[in-house]
A = this chain, B = another copy of it.
Amino acid sequence: MQRVAVAGASGYAGGEVLRLLLAHPDLEVGAVTAGGNAGQPLGSIHPHLTPLADRVLEETTVEVLSDHDAVVLALPHGHSAAIAEQLGDDVVVVDCGADFRLRDAQAWTTFYDTPHAGSWPYGMPELPTDGGKQRDALVGATRIAVPGCYPTAVSLALAPGLAGGVVDPGDITVVAASGTSGAGKSLKPHLLGSEVMGSMSPYGVGGVHRHTPEIEQNLSACGAGPVVVSFTPTLAPMPRGILATGTATVAEGATAAEVRAAWETAYQDEPFVHLLPEGRWPSTSSVVGSNCVHLQVTLDDRVGRVVVVAAVDNLTKGTGGAAVQCLNLALGLPETTGLPLAGIAP
């Protein structure tokens, strides 16, 4: 058993990492730390984690975190670098925050308005890249940046079309609906249950959402040239799940069969990314609690656009599951160890 500490354990991302570690055969929960919630038992913060109910949250310090095989950081962005640089290279660090995701310092500054901390290997193993998969950069890495939830859904949805040359990189639109846990536990009026239930609303419209450059970085790495994306996120009345709908102009001459083949090829050997049989479309309820991505793609001949829909659980494959998948790769375990393939429904 290798021991994993979780920093920022009182948030939703941290809680999900703990849920998955509890079910992991080769990893065990080490220190659990928090900021304002330090000193509280996990039972009052995450009452669903029954086996950890009596564990008390410690302060997030390097001393508490250092004596572990790995540390998962689930902190607000801007806090990861200071901790990571004090943890030795013998400690694997996996960061669920945004700090080390973007390679372009200018893009970081534009969207986050703080200094760029740098970039770490990007933890999306299944992502098609120009001639390979992102997985190659992750095996044995000691620092990994866990992708954002929207970028996970959107990049895995659209990359095969670009990598396979069946869609045009120039005209991509995405509308995605996310459950409310994507916004974290922050106490904002629009996140109250009374406001959320029964309502759909957009936010960050017009290309200003911080996940936009991350999506574009991923899609631009597919070898089809630089990509910009019209990205509209919306808040949906459910706790978990992202449904992302992407459209792109079909490449001239590409047939429906070629379109489908591009997605089949990209994911045929992937344990977590599933192109559904033709005629079946993804639903978020089918992936809640699992590390899977469900996909479907079609060609709308009337308008000449490929339409692809992806469903993921924003907290599992979108955050905590990806973190554990990265831990597996970094720590030399089989990539799928301990990660749920079945969701919980209804």
Contacts and interface: CB of A to CB of B under 8 A. Distances in A.
Given A243-B234, A342-B48, A288 B192 contact: no
B193 A196 contact: yes
Contact of A191 (B192, B234, B294): B192
Contacts of A46: 345
Contact of A201 (B44, B206, B232, B282): B282
B199 A238 contact: yes
Given A237-B237, A346-B194, A50 B274 contact: yes
Interface size class of A (residues with CB under 8 A): 35 or more
Contacts of A319: none
Contact of A177 (B230, B236, B239): B236
A202 interface: yes
A81 interface: no
Interface stretch (A71-79, A120-128, A300-308): A300-308
A55 B84 CA distance: 46
Contacts of A311: 200-201
A119 interface: no
Interface string A169-185: 00101010101110101
Contact of A237 (B47, B171, B236): B236
Contacts of A144: none
A283 B289 CA distance: 19
A267 interface: no
Contacts of A292: 50
Interface in A136-190: 171, 173, 175, 177, 179-181, 183, 185, 187-189
A345 B228 contact: no
A284 interface: yes
A289 B201 CA distance: 17
A298 interface: yes
A230 B179 contact: no
11 contacts: A46-B345, A48-B344, A191-B194, A192-B192, A192-B193, A198-B238, A200-B284, A201-B282, A230-B305, A237-B238, A344-B344
Interface of A: 12, 15, 19, 22-23, 43-44, 46-53, 171, 173, 175, 177, 179-181, 183, 185, 187-189, 191-203, 205-207, 228-230, 232, 234, 236-241, 243, 245, 247, 249, 274, 276-277, 280-290, 292, 294, 296, 298-303, 305, 307, 309, 311, 340-346
